[in-house]
């Protein structure tokens, strides 16, 4: 009976807080935001420019510079209170000539296969690298196999993403250690190169790049690493079963240069009551170089810009200062995110909320929150306001890499959570292009973000 009473009380309070927070005026503001997003949105046009006029925006590239200039100009067009560039030094790694690879059987038959260098990898020796292959499915397996089985070989990491996980980011999290640390671990046992199965749930011919590390490994011990498409990985694996002594050849001419100057792009609507309290909404301006970075993270960039445009459009004057931050160098360094947080700390800027969109421009399902229980419960009480927009997911969870460095007591960090089923079809691959983004899905994400920012500004 005590339990019954307890449940009753909890239930009552949750209903009570729901009805308290579903304010008619809030509904009207949110309806205006959605209408403005869907009837006269700007995000899709911005994305078209970023993707088709600029293209892939790897840190330190000319395209990344162009993206800085373009978004600065577009933010200025919005008539924000301030727009500025925040300098940050970023790594510069270049892919070089198109990579090339083939599989060679014992009698010298060859079949080419699609690969791309992992971001940060060293090049192969001039003329390429050819060696026998050992297939593994985990980093642990490397340790068990030891130097005797690995020395002089190319290690082929082939653990696929788990298709039975509903949230594809969990499947990604369960595999990405192969890409990130595979070369570092294999090098320790004398491997000469690494081939990693692409982080992709589809069977197709696109290799997917992404960041990797050599850790503290001395420069002369670093070995080249590439990604192979899922079709290529399946072919290599089945061929190895027939011909364990086949050789894999690959050639890549990637190179790391000294760090170069770049920028975070920032725009602000200054708060009317608390100009020194800050709400941040952002995505990352850099992308990988083999697609045009439309989903990762062109979508997050234009949705974040759209948040400030929509707030102005519906004539909302925020209490707190609201900033859009287009972070540079999320993909291979996170320098922009770290720099922004460091500057904020040095200037004693009180950040109360930060929201990142970096999971693709798909239909928004909701948000994840990294914050204290009381704040989370307050936010969850707004769920009914989002119901008619089919935004239903309000759960505790991670936020976004770029805003992570802002974490401190009292801040609420949040991530937009779009539908994730198609994300890894495009992630870090040549298939991540403008045509893969649906205008309405993109716009609905911007509208959901704006609505959340409005509520946070109003009630926190």
Which backbone phi and psi does 390 adopt, to 5 degrees?
60, 30
Q: What is the CB neighbour count within 10 angstroms for residue 388?
A: 11
Q: Which of 138, 213, 375, 421 binds a copy of itself (CB under 8 A)?
A: 421
Q: Which stretch binds a copy of itself (CB under 8 A): 163-171, 176-184, 280-288, 373-381?
A: 163-171
Tell the burial category of 404 from Cβ atoms under 10 Å away from its Cβ (0-12, 13-18, 19+). middle
Smallest separation (angstroms) from a copy of itself to the CB of 34: 7
Q: Which residue shows structure tokens 């909404």?
A: 281
Q: Is residue 15 at the binding interface for a copy of itself, with CB under 8 A as the rule? A: yes
Q: Which of 137, 239, 438, 458 binds a copy of itself (CB under 8 A)?
A: 438
Q: Is residue 365 at the binding interface for a copy of itself, with CB under 8 A as the rule? A: yes
Q: Is residue 1 at the binding interface for a copy of itself, with CB under 8 A as the rule? A: no
For a copy of itself, give the closer residue by CB, 262 or 368: 368
* Bond prior to 297 in cis (omega within 30° of 0): yes
Torsion of CA 66, 68, 71, 75, to 10 degrees: -140
Q: Is residue 16 at the binding interface for a copy of itself, with CB under 8 A as the rule? A: yes
For a copy of itself, give the closer residue by CB, 166 or 218: 166
Smallest separation (angstroms) from a copy of itself to the CB of 440: 5
Residue among 58, 83, 55 at smallest CA distance from 328: 58
Q: Is residue 28 at the binding interface for a copy of itself, with CB under 8 A as the rule? A: no
Distance (Å, rounded) from C-alpha 198 to C-alpha 206? 8
Q: Is residue 433 at the binding interface for a copy of itself, with CB under 8 A as the rule? A: no
Q: What is the CB neighbour count within 10 angstroms for residue 367?
A: 22
Distance (Å, rounded) from C-alpha 211 to C-alpha 187? 17
* DSSP output for 220-264: GG---EEEE-HHHHHHHHHHHHH-TT-EEEEE---EEEEEEEEEE
Q: Is residue 444 at the binding interface for a copy of itself, with CB under 8 A as the rule? A: yes
Smallest separation (angstroms) from a copy of itself to the CB of 243: 28
Quickly count helices (H) and strands (E) in the chain.
Answer: 14, 16
For a copy of itself, give the closer residue by CB, 86 or 137: 137
Residue among 442, 363, 456, 357 at smallest CA distance from 412: 456
Give the SS3 label for residue 275.
strand
For a copy of itself, give the closer residue by CB, 150 or 442: 442
Q: Is residue 35 at the binding interface for a copy of itself, with CB under 8 A as the rule? A: yes
Q: Is residue 234 at the binding interface for a copy of itself, with CB under 8 A as the rule? A: no
Q: Which stretch binds a copy of itself (CB under 8 A): 121-129, 281-289, 303-311, 382-390?
A: 382-390
Residue among 288, 283, 449, 291 at smallest CA distance from 360: 283
Smallest separation (angstroms) from a copy of itself to the CB of 380: 14
Smallest separation (angstroms) from a copy of itself to the CB of 266: 31
Q: Is residue 422 at the binding interface for a copy of itself, with CB under 8 A as the rule? A: yes
Q: Is residue 39 at the binding interface for a copy of itself, with CB under 8 A as the rule? A: yes
| Contact positions vs a copy of itself (CB under 8 A) | 4, 7-12, 14-16, 34-35, 38-39, 163-164, 166-168, 201-202, 363, 365, 388-390, 392-393, 419, 421-422, 425, 438-441, 444
């Amino acid at each position: 009976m005590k339990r019954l009473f307890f449940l009753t009380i909890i239930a009552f309070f949750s209903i009570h807080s729901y009805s308290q927070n579903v304010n008619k005026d809030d509904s009207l503001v949110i309806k205006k935001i959605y209408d403005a997003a869907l009837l006269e949105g700007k995000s899709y046009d911005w994305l078209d420019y970023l993707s088709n006029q600029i293209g892939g925006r790897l840190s330190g590239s000319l395209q990344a510079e162009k993206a800085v200039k373009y978004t600065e100009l577009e933010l200025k067009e919005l008539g924000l209170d301030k727009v500025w560039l925040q300098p940050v030094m970023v790594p510069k790694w270049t892919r070089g000539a198109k990579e090339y690879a083939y599989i060679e059987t014992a009698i010298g038959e060859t079949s080419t296969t699609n690969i791309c260098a992992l971001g940060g990898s060293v090049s192969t020796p001039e003329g390429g690298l050819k060696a026998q292959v050992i297939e593994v499915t985990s980093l642990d397996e490397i340790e068990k196999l030891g130097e005797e089985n690995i020395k002089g070989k190319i290690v082929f990491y082939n653990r696929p993403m788990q298709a039975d996980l509903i949230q594809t980011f969990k499947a990604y999290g369960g595999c990405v250690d192969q890409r990130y640390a595979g070369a570092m671990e294999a090098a320790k046992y004398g491997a000469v190169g690494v081939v990693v199965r692409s982080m992709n749930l589809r069977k197709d011919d696109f290799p997917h790049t992404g960041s990797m590390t050599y850790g503290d490994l001395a420069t002369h011990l670093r070995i080249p690493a590439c990604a192979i498409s899922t079709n290529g990985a399946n072919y290599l694996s089945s061929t190895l079963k027939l011909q364990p002594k086949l050789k894999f050849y690959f050639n890549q001419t990637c190179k790391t240069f000294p760090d170069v100057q770049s920028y975070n792009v920032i725009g602000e609507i200054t708060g009317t009551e608390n100009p020194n309290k800050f709400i941040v909404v952002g995505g990352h301006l850099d992308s990988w170089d083999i697609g045009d970075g439309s989903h990762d993270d062109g979508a997050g960039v234009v949705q974040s810009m759209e948040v400030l445009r929509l707030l102005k459009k519906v004539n909302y004057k925020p209490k707190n200062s609201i900033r859009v931050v287009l972070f540079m160098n999320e993909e291979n360094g996170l320098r922009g995110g770290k720099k922004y947080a460091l500057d904020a700390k040095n200037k004693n800027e009180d950040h109360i909320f930060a929201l990142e969109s970096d999971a693709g421009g798909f239909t928004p399902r909701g948000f994840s929150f990294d914050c204290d229980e009381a704040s989370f419960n307050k936010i969850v009480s707004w769920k009914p306001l989002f119901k008619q927009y089919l935004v239903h997911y309000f759960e505790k969870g991670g936020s976004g890499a770029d805003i992570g460095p802002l974490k401190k007591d009292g801040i609420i960090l949040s991530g937009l959570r779009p539908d994730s089923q198609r994300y890894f079809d495009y992630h870090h691959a040549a298939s991540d292009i403008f045509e893969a983004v649906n205008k309405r899905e993109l716009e609905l994400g911007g509208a959901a973000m704006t609505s959340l920012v409005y509520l946070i500004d109003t009630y926190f």
